[in-house]
Amino acid sequence: MKKVVTLGVTLLSVLALAACGNNKSSKDSSSSSAKTEQTSKKTASSAKQASSSSNKSNKANKNGSKKISAAQKKAEQKIAANAGQSKTLSKSGKNAKPVTKTGYRSVKLGSTSSAVVSALGKPAAKYTVAGNSGQKSTSYVWNVASKNFPSTTAITVGIKNGRVISKSYTGKKTSSSRTVSKAAINKLTKGASYSAVLKALGTPNAESITSSKKTLVYLTDKSKGTATAFNFNGSTLASKTASALG
C-alpha cells in the first residue's frame, strides 16, 4: 500500500512538473510572440517614417523643380522680350512716296531721322529692337520699285538716338542686272581700299554700311544668281566671300 501511495505521489509530481513546463513554454511562446509583434510594429513604424521622409524629400525636390522651371521661364521671357519687337507703320506695306537711288545716296551716317524721312518719305515698315544692354535701335524699311532703283527690292536705314547708324539696300537678279567678271574680282585682294573697289567695279548690286563695317555685293552669274561679297573693316578690304542674289 505504501508503494502504491509513493508511486501515486511520484506520478502527480511528474504531471505537475510537466504542467509547469508546459505553462512556462506557453508563457515563453507568448512572450516571444509579443516581442515579435512589437518588433514588427517598430519595423512598420520605421518604414512609415522612412516613407514619409522620402515623400517629403520628393515633394521638396518637386517644389524645387517647379521653382527652377519658373525661374527658367522668367529668364526665357526676358530674353525673348530683349530680342526685339516690331511694329508695322503701314498695313499696305507701301511707302509714302517712291524711293530713288538719289534719295538713298543722300542719307549719310549721322543724318537725323527727320532728314531720312525727308529724303525717302515715310517708310513702309518700322522695326524697333532692344539689345542686350537695353538700348533700342530702330530700322526703317522702304520697298523699292525697280524703275526708281534698278535691281533693288528694299532699303533699310538703322537709327539710334535719332541718328543714322547704318544703311543698306537689298539687290535681286533681273534681266537688266549688271554683272562683274570673276577676273575683275580676282584682281582686288585683301587690303584694298573701299574707294578702290568702288572705282574698279562700280555700283554694287547690294550693300550694307555701318560706322565700322561695310559690305559690297557684286553679281557674277545672272542665270545662277551667284555673287561675291567684299567685306571691309572700316575702309580696308578684310575678305571676299561667296554670296547670292534672289
User: What pLDDT score was predicted for residue 62?
Assistant: 46
Q: Which three cell numbers stand for residue 217?
A: 555685293
Q: What is the secondary structure of the chain as a DSSP string?
A: -HHHHHHHHHHHHHHHHHHHHHHHHHHHHHHHHHHHHHHHHHHHHHHHHHHHHHHHHHHHHHHHHHHHHHHHHHHHHHHHHHT-EEE-S-TT---SS---HHHHHH--TT-BHHHHHHHH-S-SEEEEEE-TTS-EEEEEEEE--TTTSTTEEEEEEEEETTEEEEEEEEE---TT-----HHHHHH--TT-BHHHHHHHH-S-SEEEEESSEEEEEEEEETTTTEEEEEEEETTEEEEEEEEE--
Residue 160's nearest CA partner among 141, 185, 184, 135 is 135
- d(C-alpha 65, C-alpha 142), whole Å: 48
Which residue stretches of the chain have pLDDT < 50? Answer: 1-36, 43, 47, 50, 54, 57, 60-92
User: What pLDDT score was predicted for residue 16?
Assistant: 42
- d(C-alpha 80, C-alpha 9), whole Å: 104
User: What pLDDT score was predicted for residue 179?
Assistant: 93
- d(C-alpha 229, C-alpha 51), whole Å: 68
Domain 84-171 has CATH 1.10.1030.10: no
Q: Where in the chain is the domain with CATH 3.30.1450.10?
A: 84-171, 172-246
* Sheet-wide strand order for 136-143: 85-87, 125-130, 136-143, 152-160, 163-171, 206-210, 213-221, 226-233, 236-244
User: What pLDDT score was predicted for residue 81?
Assistant: 44
pLDDT tens digit sequence for 108-163 = 999 999 999 999 999 999 998 887 777 889 999 998 876 777 778 899 999 999 99
Q: Are 241 and 208 in contact (CB under 8 A)?
A: no
26: left (phi over 0), alpha (psi -120 to 50) or beta: alpha
Give the fold, CATH level 3, of 172-246: Beta-lactamase Inhibitory Protein; Chain:B, domain 1 (3.30.1450)
Cα dihedral sign, 181-214-103-157: positive
User: What pLDDT score was predicted for residue 120?
Assistant: 93
With 0-12 / 13-18 / 19 or more C-beta atoms within 10 angstroms meaning exposed / middle / buried, residue 151 is buried
Cβ contacts of residue 27 below 8 Å, gap of 6+?
A: none
For the chain, the residue count is 246
